[in-house]
Amino acid sequence: MAHGGEGTSEKSRWACALGVVALAFVSFASLLWGTTALGTREALQTLAALASGSTADPTATLVLLSVRLPRVVAGMCCGAALACAGLLLQASLDNDLASPGVMGVNSGAGLLWLVAALWLPGHPMLRQAMAFAGALLATFLVYLVSRRAGTSRGTVVLAGVAVSSLMSAAIDAIVVVWPQSVTDRVSFTLGGLSGVTFKPLALCAPAMLVALAAGAYLGRGVDLLALGDEAAHGLGLDVRACRLGAIVCAALLAASAVSVCGLLSFVGLIVPNLVRMWARPTTRQGLALCAVWGAALLVACDLVARTIAFPYELPVGLVLALLGAPFFIALLMRRGRRHGSHSVASGRGGDAS
């Protein structure tokens, strides 16, 4: 992460303000529009009645407060968590292709969450703990494989893809053999916010807040990691502890989101990269920006998913995949051009010498 100067801070403030406006707009639109019979005018009238304290239509109130509002809040919380997890992974690993989905963190959390849901269905807190353990397990496996194969940035990503595929295959096997382990297979494997209530959010929100606060606390150390391990160590940073702490925070954020919204991908890849392109913030500034824009992106994609094929509803993970796959390809091509230009410059330097 680049250190932010005065210009960077100004850009970060503008980007954060714009993100708040975008989040407010898509959240309000998500309350008004949906696949239920409640129309925009009725929704506005109900919101006005609730705001003024007057009597509102019971059915409309039920739809707004028990169906649409939990969905919006879940989208905000999970989008922010996944985007911040992606930022911490990318910054601590110095790899702009790292994200909870690509690195297998989401799949690892989802696998052990399913195991807990299958064999210990009456213990929701244990499912949260198992999801966190699965996220850490996947991260450890990626680290172990990449260390044995080589520590280049490309090797880390390939190890993440391999571990993610392994975990996803195990998830599919559990869902096929024990379909009762998850009520909606498509919603879980692709990710979705349909049917979300405030109860799982109440369980996950404290873990998200703790992980986000810990990530912000580690922010300055994560910034120093961008200088290289030797330089950061020379400045007094415990490199291994800082990197491990950032990865653990990312794992906790991703695990909390997975336990609510399923295996959503690409939020943690798209948002941190766009934030760095726009503002080049410090890690602490980047966490604030990722929280706002990650929330806005997931709420907006959920709104598109449930309105574009009205009266049918698409999984929000499908919409994110349609956005994220081209974005991932563009990042690979951009990195290839950048490395190619460095190689050409190095070759010219060698010829000149």
Q: Is residue 156 part of a domain?
A: yes
pLDDT in tens, 166-203: 998 998 888 888 877 776 666 777 788 887 888 888 88
Find the CATH number of the domain harbouring 157.
1.10.3470.10
Residue 95 banded pLDDT, cuts 50, 70, 90: confident
> How is residue 331 written in tokens?
């990042």
pLDDT in tens, 64-93: 888 888 899 999 999 999 999 999 999 988
Most confident of 34-48, 101-115, 123-137: 101-115
**Domain span holding position 276:** 6-336
Q: Is residue 165 part of a domain?
A: yes
Kindly report the pTM of this predicted structure. Answer: 0.85
Residue 153, C-beta contacts closer than 8 angstroms, at least 6 positions apart:
93, 94, 95, 97
Radius of gyration of the chain (CA): 21
Report d(CA 188, CA 257) in Å as an integer: 12
Mean pLDDT score across all residues of the chain: 83
Cis bond leading into 311, ω under 30°? yes
Our count of domains for the chain comes to: 1
Q: Is residue 341 part of a domain?
A: no
> How is residue 196 written in tokens?
């979300």
Q: Is residue 14 part of a domain?
A: yes
> DSSP string spanning 46-59?
HHHHHHHT----HH
Residue with tokens 């009645």: 49
Q: Is residue 346 part of a domain?
A: no
